[in-house]
Amino acid sequence: MHLNLDLQFFAGEKTEKATPKKREDERKKGRVAKSQDINTALLLLFSFITLTVLGSFMKEHMISLYTSSFSEYIHWDITEQSIMKLLKEVIIQFAMIVAPIMIIAFIISIAANLLQVGFLFTTEPLKFDLKKIDPIKGAKRIFSIRALVELLKSFLKIALIGSITFAVIWIFKDEMMMLALKNPINAVAFFGRVTITMGIAATIALLFLAVLDYMYQKYDFEKNIRMSKQDIKDEHKNIEGDPLIKSKLREKQRQIAMQRMMEEVPKADVVITNPTHYAIAIKYDETVAAAPIVVAKGTDKTALKIKEIAKENDVMTVENKPLAQSLYSLVDINEVIPEQFYQAVAEILAFVYKLEKKVN
């Protein structure tokens, strides 16, 4: 009894890697190894790169909007038409400013997901599930190892970004002290340069953490989808079908094939026997094949059944032990007999036709 319980315990322990079907089922539910930090880090990195490359373009549109507001729009009469025109022009200018960042953000968001999990669309996570609002399971999630890892990861990101920010400010501290001597345009350009430097440096550090996080997420995902030996057996049974049902199906197919074979025995020209262990029913029809065909064969009980049907339908039975054994071993049902047996079978058929001619 104790041994059986131990075996059941080990059979139920999830120690096996997930099968391809298990992975596919999890994927359909939207459960994949994915790090949100990868998306965030790539999004920030390419956003700052865009600011570096297209910063001048965006600055020109901002200055244009600022200049127009205080030199042109301020003198307009407040009417419905002027307000609509003002709104239209401001929206266009604002769109020109934010469009590069928005387009890059959209492309990188999609690319980051494709990079991690490929194309995946599922509505499964949106379905209502009472387990998601279960307070007990919620408490388990809050105090789980995963939650602790996420907390430590957050502290690490704060510490890392804080350190990088302080380091960048410390590097540029002397220039910051001299900002009072610079004109507004140079001061803004300086802050822009410092901000981009700080952003790219912090983002590269975040990207490094994101790669580590992705490795952890993959490890955690693989751990959570592990299967027990019993799970694999059950899955295999579901895919292949219950062995009992399959054996019954095979038995049914065998019975149908046997019935069809027996239906061909009355059409045979002769049945060659062992005499007790083998029975081979042969038919020759020159319009179907150039040589005789084996239409039925069997041993023991099947051979006896073939001989009974042959007797009932006046099909002659001829004893030839070596020929019966050879034909049974080498020729399948509905196959033409090999050339090596032509003469022996032809002699038997000639004998049968001669006897039938005498009887008729």
Tens digits of per-residue pLDDT, 65-121?
878 887 887 778 788 888 888 888 888 888 888 888 888 888 888 888 888 777 766
What is the distance, to the nearest Å, from the Cα of residue 307 to the centroid of all Cα atoms in its chain? 55
Q: Which amino acid is at 355?
A: L
Q: Global pTM?
A: 0.49
Report the pLDDT averaged over residues 288-309: 88
Residue 228 has phi, psi (to 5 degrees) of: -85, 165
The three-state secondary structure class of 24 is: helix
Q: Of 114-118, 135-139, 327-331, which gets the smallest average pLDDT?
A: 135-139
Residue 217 has phi, psi (to 5 degrees) of: -60, -40
- In this predicted structure, the answer to whether residue 27 has a pLDDT above a threshold of 60 is yes
DSSP characters for 146-199? HHHHHHHHHHHHHHHHHHHHHHHHHHTHHHHHTGGGS-HHHHHHHHHHHHHHHH
pLDDT at 5: 41
pLDDT at 3: 44
Report the pLDDT averaged over residues 149-156: 82
Cβ atoms of 224 and 183 closer than 8 Å:
no
pLDDT at 132: 56
pLDDT at 334: 87
Both tokens of 262, joined, read: 């027996």
Q: Of 222-226, 278-282, 342-346, which gets the smallest average pLDDT?
A: 222-226
Residue 122 pLDDT class (50, 70, 90 cuts)? low
Residue 299 has phi, psi (to 5 degrees) of: -125, 160
